[in-house]
Chain A
């Protein structure tokens, strides 16, 4: 064997262990999901059988699926812009020379390292009717008692608040890194021109942060489809499915109703949504190369 082909074999050998696991737990299940989605789920006296598009037809007629999708859209709209805006604001503050900078960074970032399941318990207590902190505060202002997590109108908003609280500090980190890499001479030039602070932010800082914003945006979109831990703790999708998100519904169908065929069809929708996000990011990565 010559040197070149032995190097090729070495390359593949080094890759092999990771490749086997990746194929087994990412590529195979993605393909198998599509396959399973065309089959009915086995029942005690009826084995699994090819059902064509039956699961998809069921999905189209399933109001809970559509509601989960709509909820997911509202969840995304509610969490993404606010957490990105807050993250940027936090980064600017932490990067500036404000008093107590260390404490600020600590306060903003701490929710990121805590388990979602743990903070969901804390927030559950926070929202508790009658003696949760929120009720105590609204009570001080003489407002009537309200079951925040138990009402159709406010339950999803409560989850959105928790998610923003958990995510903003994480996104702040990326903005902080980007802010620190902006060359200071740009600001010096702007000050010679007599530009205002706001003009500098709008014309220099913000455009230079654009790649970071896109990166954070893609991550935020993925998270809005992936984060369901707090739903399990706080609402279990209720009341009346108003807080059921797509992945949570998949979890219910797959592991409470044990309907693997239908859960696979639902998963396909999620995979298509995530793949679209991937296409978006690829477009962005391509563009980012031109920045260099």
Chain B
């Protein structure tokens, strides 16, 4: 907004008040969870400033379920998905951006189908496929449907298209092969897009739940989200302090990363969202 429309006086005060009220309302559930997790159970719904702080709830949660294993599973899962996505999407995007081959436009349209019909809704058939492949209850089974990401292909294709063809041709004149050109010219120039995509992908798959709960059924492959659900629905009864501690623990890595790199996160979601 230009200077003429900057708020002053009473309207400014009113809008500032509204904005803050909404913001406080928005952090309230999280603040509530923090309070409950860091205080003994008897204070879980009593708000007294003198309530003693404790890490006991976190220790109890950590000992009550194999969260260490769940963390390892989730980290393996997001790493596997991201690595596969980066390689597959880069290759496909390069083909779409710089090669002319028969059926290209049709193939691209078929890729875009996945933007609407995501693996998230094809759970019944994909489960049968995993069962036939004999890989149920494995990290690979959770990851496979997400490895070729239409969103990633689309995002990188748009980026590659903005890179001047002259750079490409200059490298080829010097005798670089197609893959060398891709690696030395395109990938470095698209770095901000890769960072944006990686952040969005990691947070999506760290948080994903429905498909993982369907294909996993043991501690060996369960990611954190599923582990948290199993923990809070069966093991725990209703000890809210411990459930809140477990909840915060599972979200902590993303939350801490977000607080540290807030600007990059917001910009990444902006960049990756506006296609």
Which residues of A come within 8 Å of B, CB atoms? 7-12, 14-15, 17-22, 24-30, 32-33, 36, 86, 89-90, 93, 95-100, 102-119, 121-123, 125-126, 128, 131-133, 136, 165, 169-170, 173-174, 176-177, 184-185, 187-188, 190-191, 197, 200, 215, 222, 225-226, 228-229, 232-233, 247, 250-251, 254-255, 260, 263-264, 267, 270-271, 274-275, 277-278, 281
Contacts and interface: CB of A to CB of B under 8 A. Distances in A.
Given A251-B123, A260-B128, A174 B99 contact: no
B260 to A, nearest CB: 12
B101 A26 contact: no
A56 B229 CA distance: 33
B125 A12 contact: no
Contact of B95 (A11, A250, A264, A275): A11
B100 A105 contact: no
Interface of B: 1-2, 4-7, 12, 15-16, 18-20, 22-24, 26-30, 32-33, 36, 44-45, 87-89, 91-92, 94-96, 99-102, 104, 107, 110-111, 113-129, 144-145, 147-148, 150, 153, 178, 203, 206-207, 209-210, 213-214, 224-225, 228-229, 232-233, 238, 240, 243-244, 247-248, 250-251, 254-255, 258-259, 262, 265-266, 269-270, 273-274
Contacts of B238: 128
A108 to B, nearest CB: 6
Given A115-B250, A125-B244, A187-B2, A229 B274 contact: no
Contact of B30 (A112, A122, A264): A122
Given A15-B95, A28-B129, 17 more contacts: A14-B95, A14-B178, A19-B111, A26-B114, A29-B125, A93-B18, A93-B19, A99-B16, A109-B265, A111-B30, A117-B209, A117-B225, A121-B244, A125-B243, A173-B266, A173-B269, A188-B4
Contacts of A233: 229, 232-233
A260 B5 CA distance: 59
Contacts of A21: 88, 144, 147-148
Contacts of B102: 8
B243 to A, nearest CB: 6
A29 B122 contact: yes
B168 to A, nearest CB: 12
Contacts of A111: 26, 30
Given A115-B250, A274-B117, A25 B124 contact: no
B116 A222 contact: yes
9 contacts: A11-B101, A29-B129, A102-B262, A107-B27, A111-B26, A117-B209, A232-B210, A247-B121, A278-B117
A165 B26 contact: yes
Given A21-B144, A33-B122, A110-B26, A174 B270 contact: yes
